[in-house]
Amino acid sequence: MRAVLIQATEEHPAAFCYQVNGSCPRTVHPLGIQLLIYLACAAGMLTTVLGNLFVVFAVSYFKALHTPTNFLLLSLALADMFLGLLVLPFSTVRSVESCWFFGDFLCRLHTYLDTLFCLTSIFHLCFISVDRHCAICDPLRYPSKFTGRVALGYILAGWGLPAAYSAFFLYTDVVDAGLSRWLEEMPCVGSCQLLFNKFWGWFNFPVFFFPCLIMIGLYVKIFVVATRQARQIGTLSKSLAGAAKRERKAAKTLGIAVGIYLLCWLPFTVDTMLDGLLHLVTSSLVFDIFIWFAYFNSACNPIIYVFSYRWFRKALKLILSREVFSPRTPTIDLYQE
C-alpha cells in the first residue's frame, strides 16, 4: 500500500527489500517478533475464513434459512471469506516483512481484490439495512416487496458496482492522467502502492461513508418504529408477535454489525483521506495497525450472529454433530423455540 520509510541506526542497520538502486528500506524484526505476528495474522485469517464459511454452509444447507435476507447474508459472508483466503495471506507477508515480494501483476490484483471485497461488504450491509427497514416499517407488504428476485438484484449490484469502481481506478489510466499534477514521487522498488496521489483518500471516503450515512438514517427510523411496535405487541396474536420479535432482533443484530463496521473502518479511511494532504506522515506501523483493524471487521459478523441468533447457534450445533448427515436435518425448522 505504501513504501516503508525508516532511517538506518545502530540498533536497526540499513536493510532493503531488493539489492537494487531505489529499493525500499526494510524493517527487520527479531525472529520471535516475526513468528508472533505471523501467528496472530494466521489466527485472524483462520477465524475469518472458517466463521464465514460456516455462514455460507448454514444458509445453503438448511431450507428454513432460504430467505431473501439470508441470501444477502450469504453473499456478504462470501466477500469476507474471500478476503481471508485471497487477500490476507499476502497482506500478512507485506506487513511483517515491510516489503512486497510478489511482483507488479499480483500487486495490482491484490489491491483490486482488497478494494473489491471491502466495498462489497459495505454495499451488502447497506442493502441489508434497506431490507430490515422494509420488514419493520412496512411488514404487511414486505413479503411481496422484498422477494428473491429483488435480493438477487441487490447481490448483483453489491458485487458489480465495487468491481467496476475498483477496475476503473486500478486498470485504466484515466485517474493518473487526470491527476498527474497531484501525483507524489514514484514509489520505491518493493512497495505495493499503485494509487499514490493526494486525493485517493478523498475519492474513497464518500464511497465508504455515503452508504454508511444511509444505513444510520434507516436504523434510526427502524429503532423508532420498533420501539412503537414493542408497546403494541400485547394486542397482536401469538404468531404475529413472534414474527415481530424476530424482525426486531434481526434489525438490532444488523445494526450492531453496521456499528462495528464503522468502528473498524473509520480510523483507516480518515487516516487515508488526511495522510495524502499531509505528505504521508503516518508511520508504517500505525498504518498497518489501521488496515488490520479494518480487516478484522470481516471476522466479526459470524461472531455477532453466534451471540445474537438462536437459529445460528442451533445450526452450528447441528453442523458440528453427526445429525448433519441425517436426510431430515436440512428441513429442520431452526426458528422453532
* DSSP state string for 83-119: IIIIIHHHHHHHHHHSS--SHHHHHHHHHHHHHHHHH
31-323: which CATH architecture? Up-down Bundle (1.20)
* Cβ pair 264, 296 in contact under 8 A: yes
Q: Which residue has the cell 499503485?
A: 194
- The distance of Cα 256 from the centroid of its chain, to the nearest Å, equals 14
pLDDT (tens place) for every residue of the chain, 337 residues total:
443 333 333 344 457 787 777 777 787 878 888 899 899 999 999 999 999 999 999 999 999 889 998 999 999 999 999 999 999 999 999 888 888 888 888 988 998 999 899 899 989 988 988 888 888 888 888 888 889 999 999 999 999 999 998 888 788 776 656 555 555 555 677 777 655 455 566 667 777 778 888 888 888 888 788 777 666 665 555 555 566 666 666 667 777 877 888 888 888 888 877 776 666 666 777 888 888 988 998 898 888 877 777 888 888 888 888 788 888 888 888 877 6
pTM confidence score = 0.83
Residue 131: exposed, middle, or buried by beta-carbon count in 10 A (0-12, 13-18, 19+)?
buried
Domain ranges across the chain: 31-323
pLDDT number for residue 242: 61
Helix residue ranges per DSSP H, the chain: 31-61, 68-82, 88-97, 103-137, 142-145, 148-170, 174-178, 200-232, 238-277, 284-295, 297-308, 310-319
| Torsion angles phi and psi, residue 67, rounded to 5 | -120, 160
C-alpha 78, offset from chain centre: 10
The pLDDT value given to residue 6:
34
Interatomic CA distance for residues 147 and 67, integer angstroms: 8
CA distances from 206 to 40, 130, 211, 215, 273 (A): 32, 19, 8, 14, 10
